[in-house]
């Protein structure tokens, strides 16, 4: 089981010194990866389904991960997740390629389609057709990362006669991790991604999601040459060895721990407790 830490750009880790302390501690303790969340804006006042108060600091994922990349050497750097329909695909492709280059190939690119209508409205992005927009943007990003002469003609993005260097270090591109619990999201992961990420799930919800992924794979198959999906979950349960074993038995490959904490010292204690589970 790989163990990661979620929240390197949120709350107390939005402080630059705190982020570096936590990132270095996680790497030294043997954690496999550090993960960011994303909300460009939050509704004010907070109202469901908004996950956090409007005062919660959220650093931009690519900037935060680039910052801690400079302070670490080995730990992988994951976006968990970037809200893809809200982004310009070519700008995002450039940002992520730059992060992969500067981190020497440590990026894990997780994306989702979003769920906060006020956030989309504030950004001037239609809340409808988030899934098709995300899929088109992802195809555009892969084109600019992998094609000798990048070109894409999609419903929401279209270009040709361009180049965008440097390409990512990881070839053909950084691992792509899809998220979401709806049937459409699970099918999207099976069709387009290298992995799937479920956020704040208990064991029962994880089992249901994995059954949905298996069903989608039975219906759709996996693209030629693609291996099994790598499954990542942020668990609701407090972890001990037996809980880790139960997630592993379900087919989970990575647990990304998130415990909202008040101070950097609290976060460091959480990292230490997580690292103690590494055999």
Angle between helices 241-250 and 203-220 (to 10 degrees): 20
Tell me if residue 231 falls in helix, strand or coil. Answer: strand
Q: Which residues contact 216 (CB under 8 A, 6 or more apart)?
A: 183, 186, 187, 189, 190
Q: Is residue 206 part of a domain?
A: no
Measured CA to CA, the distance from residue 266 to residue 5 in angstroms comes to 13
Q: What is the pLDDT of residue 125?
A: 97
- Structural domain including 264 reads 2-177+234-275
Q: Is residue 222 part of a domain?
A: no
CB neighbour class for 236 (10 Å; exposed up to 12, middle 13-18, buried from 19)? middle
Give how far Cα 25 sits from Cα of 41, 181, 262, Å: 29, 32, 17
CATH of residue 77:
3.20.20.30
The answer to the question of residue 114 being in a domain is: yes
Give a yes or no: residue 224 inside a domain.
no
- What pLDDT, on the 0 to 100 scale, is given for residue 262? 86
Question: Residue 279 has what pLDDT?
Answer: 60
Q: Residue 278: what pLDDT?
A: 82
State residue 212's pLDDT score: 98
Spans of the chain, pLDDT less than 70: 279
> Angle at CA 224, nearest 5°, toward 221 and 227?
75
Which residues, in sequence order, are bridge partners of residue 6?
Answer: 35
Report if residue 38 sits inside a domain.
yes
Q: How many separate domains does the chain show?
A: 1
Query: Residue 225's pLDDT is what?
Result: 85
Residue with tokens 């440590």: 106
Query: Is 225 a domain residue?
Result: no
pTM comes to 0.97
Q: How many helices (H) and strands (E) does the chain have?
A: 9, 10
- Measure the CA–CA gap between 74 and 148, rounded to whole angstroms: 30
- The verdict on residue 68 lying in a domain is yes
Is 11 a domain residue?
yes
């Amino acid at each position: 089981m790989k163990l990661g830490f979620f929240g390197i750009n949120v709350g107390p880790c939005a402080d630059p010194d705190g982020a570096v302390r936590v990132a270095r501690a996680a790497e030294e303790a043997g954690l496999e990866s550090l993960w960011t969340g994303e909300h460009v804006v939050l509704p004010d006042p907070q109202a469901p389904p908004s996950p956090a108060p409007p005062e919660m600091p959220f650093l931009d994922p690519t900037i935060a991960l680039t910052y801690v990349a400079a302070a670490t050497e080995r730990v992988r750097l994951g976006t968990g997740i970037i809200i893809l329909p809200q982004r310009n695909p070519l700008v995002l492709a450039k940002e992520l390629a730059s992060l992969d280059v500067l981190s020497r190939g440590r990026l894990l690119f997780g994306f989702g389609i979003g769920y906060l209508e006020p956030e989309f409205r504030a950004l001037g992005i239609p809340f409808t057709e988030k899934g098709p927009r995300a899929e088109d943007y992802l195809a555009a990003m892969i084109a600019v990362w992998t094609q000798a002469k990048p070109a894409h003609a999609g419903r929401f993005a279209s270009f040709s006669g361009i180049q965008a260097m440097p390409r990512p270090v990881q070839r053909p591109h950084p691992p792509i991790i899809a998220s979401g619990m709806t049937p459409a999201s699970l099918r999207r992961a099976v069709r387009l991604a290298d992995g799937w990420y479920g956020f704040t799930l208990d064991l029962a919800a994880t089992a249901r999601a994995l059954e949905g992924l298996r069903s989608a794979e039975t219906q759709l198959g996996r693209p030629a040459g693609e291996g099994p999906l790598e499954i990542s979950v942020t668990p609701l349960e407090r972890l001990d060895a037996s809980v880790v074993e139960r997630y592993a038995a379900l087919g989970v490959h990575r647990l990304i721990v998130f415990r909202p904490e008040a101070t950097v010292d609290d976060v460091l204690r959480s990292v230490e407790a997580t690292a103690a589970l590494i055999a």
